[in-house]
Structures are given as structure tokens and as C-alpha cells.
Amino acid sequence: MKLRVSFIEYLNSVPLGWGFLNGPYQDVFEILFDVPSECARRLSTGEADIGLIPVIEYQRIPDLLVLPDIAVASKRQVKSVLFVSKVPLTQVSSVAVDSSSRTSVALLKILLHKFYGRHSVTYHQESPDAEKMLEHDDAALVIGNPALKVSRSTFFIYDLASEWHRFTGLPFVFAFWALRSGVNLGEKAQVFYLSREQGLKEIDSIARVYSEKLGVPAAEIRKYITENLNYSLDDSNLRGLQTFFELAAELELIPFARPLQFYAADQLCGATRRRSQESGAK
């Protein structure tokens, strides 16, 4: 039986899965296409063996291991996790949040409460349509592909990774590969690194394919992947992640900041890991 992999087909994640979506590893896994919240649910229930989960869910699902050196992160501005508001951020009192989001909701609550002093904001979930979300609320949290199409001339727009960096000076990590502790990937662990390596080599192909799918110019997609996203878990990304977990615990969004437990490094070929680190740092 093939291992079941829950994957988020947002544009920001596509380079990680390119090798097993379109490359030589298409038959290695059973791929389940999900939104972030569903990735976490499937991993929690055992419907998936490994998932690209919102990082906050690592703190809520017991007995998970993280694949080292690989993630969806942003060093400064991400462009696809947006706080869209009818009023300046300091005046916001009600927010509609994308129902598919988990980590970004926690990030928004930290930013509003900890750094902007907005302690009485109300939140409720909606489907990811910015205009509908704003019909009854001051602001909306929109993530993923829908965020790339938000009008930047009509509303106040805040990039949450930029806001995080402004206050902490750190990158932000949105998602990583996690697996249930009883799952043994064996040599298949290398596929996730090789898939990323192939994706980062074939950005022009990704831009062409997803330009047609999303109606976004290929040049914008290429710039988004190469300039706004980072696919590593390097030291600065890990510091940003640890800070996020600590602040989430401080605001009681999670019980406590559980340390990351990584999938055994000796399961990964040293040469593959070195290549993956080099690719992720680009």
C-alpha cells in the first residue's frame, strides 16, 4: 500500500510537490489534495501518513515528527497571507478569517493582541472571498491563491509576514512536512527533498502551468516563488518558528511550546540532505 500524502495545492507549496505531481516520483505516493486545515485533520485522524501541515498544528496533534530542513516560509514579505481591511489596522474590531487557515489565524491574533494592542477583536470563519468576508466585518484574513488576486487599491492591505518581521526581525514559517511517529518512510524520505530540488529547478514550468490555472501573469508567479518564499528550515527560520510558538503559548493559543521532534536524520541520505539544504537556501 502506498503512503498517503496530504498536500496543499496552493501556489506557495507547489515547488515542494513538483517532483511527485509532475516529475519522476508520481507513482511513489497516494496524493490527497487538501486545504491546510484539512491536511492537519487527515494527519490527526490517520487518514494521511504524512502531511504538509500548518505549523501551529504540530502543537495540537500529538506524536508527530517533522522532516528536517524543509518548509514553506518567508524571509520578509509573503504576498499570499493578507490582512485586508476597510479601516486602518488600529481601528479593527471584527475579523472574518479564512476557514482553511490555522497558522495564519494564530499569527494574526498574535500581531493584533501583542503588537497592536487590539484585545477585544472578534473572529469568525468564512469561505475565502474577500469582498463577501468584508460585508459584515471590518477586516478579513485571506490566504493562499485567493490572496494573490485581492485588489490592493480598494482596501488597507497588510502582509502578515512583513508585519511579523517588522516587530520581531525574524522570518516566518507557515508549513512543514510532518508524519505520524509510527510511520517509516525509509528511502522514500528522500523523495520530498528531491521533489523540492526539481521544483526549484523548474520554476519557469511552474509559472507557465499556474499562470493558466490562476489567471496570474507567469512573471509574477516566478517573482513570487523566487523572492517571497523560502523552502528551508535554516537557523533563522527555526528562530522565527520558536518565537511564534512561544508567543502562541503566551496568548494561550496552544497549551505550551512543545520542542520540535525531527524524523531521524540517519534515515536521510547525507548527500540528498546537503543538496536539499543548498536548494532550500536559494
Q: For 29-39, what is each residue's pLDDT tens digit?
A: 999 999 888 99
**Residue 260 CB partners (closer than 8 Å, separation 6+):** 58, 66, 238, 241
Long-range (24+ apart) CB contacts under 8 A made by 245-253 are 245/59, 247/110, 247/114, 248/56, 248/59, 248/106, 248/110, 250/114, 251/109, 251/110, 251/113, 251/114, 253/56, 253/106, 253/109, 253/110
Give CA–CA dist 229/215, Å, rounded. Answer: 20
274, 181: one domain:
yes
- Give the SS3 label for residue 21: helix
Tell me the residue range of the domain where 160 lies. 81-168
| DSSP assignment of 154-168 | TSEEEEHHHHHHHHH
Last residue of a domain, one of 98, 133, 168: 168
DSSP 177: E
In tens, the pLDDT along 80-139 reads 999 999 999 889 999 999 888 899 999 999 999 999 999 999 999 988 888 889 999 999
178, 57: one domain:
yes
Inform me whether the pLDDT recorded for 156 exceeds 70.
Answer: yes
Q: What is the CATH number of the domain that holds 243?
A: 3.40.190.10
Inform me whether the pLDDT recorded for 275 exceeds 60.
Answer: no
118, 179: one domain:
no
Of 281 and 241, the one with more pLDDT: 241
How far from 259 is each of 30, 182, 242, CA to CA, in Å?
A: 29, 19, 8
157, 194: one domain:
no
Last residue of a domain, one of 129, 144, 168: 168
In tens, the pLDDT along 137-148 reads 999 999 988 888
246, 182: one domain:
yes
134, 252: one domain:
no
In tens, the pLDDT along 39-81 reads 999 999 999 999 999 999 999 999 999 999 999 999 999 999 9
- Provide the pLDDT for residue 282: 47
- Provide the pLDDT for residue 268: 59
Inform me whether the pLDDT recorded for 271 exceeds 50.
Answer: no
Per-residue pLDDT band at 276 (split at 50, 70, 90): very low
Domain count, the chain: 2
68, 177: one domain:
yes
- Give the SS3 label for residue 90: helix
177, 161: one domain:
no
Question: Mean pLDDT, the chain, as a whole number?
Answer: 91
**Residue 248 CB partners (closer than 8 Å, separation 6+):** 56, 59, 106, 110, 254, 257
Last residue of a domain, one of 168, 203, 229: 168
151, 213: one domain:
no
Per-residue pLDDT band at 1 (split at 50, 70, 90): confident
69, 96: one domain:
no
- Provide the pLDDT for residue 18: 96
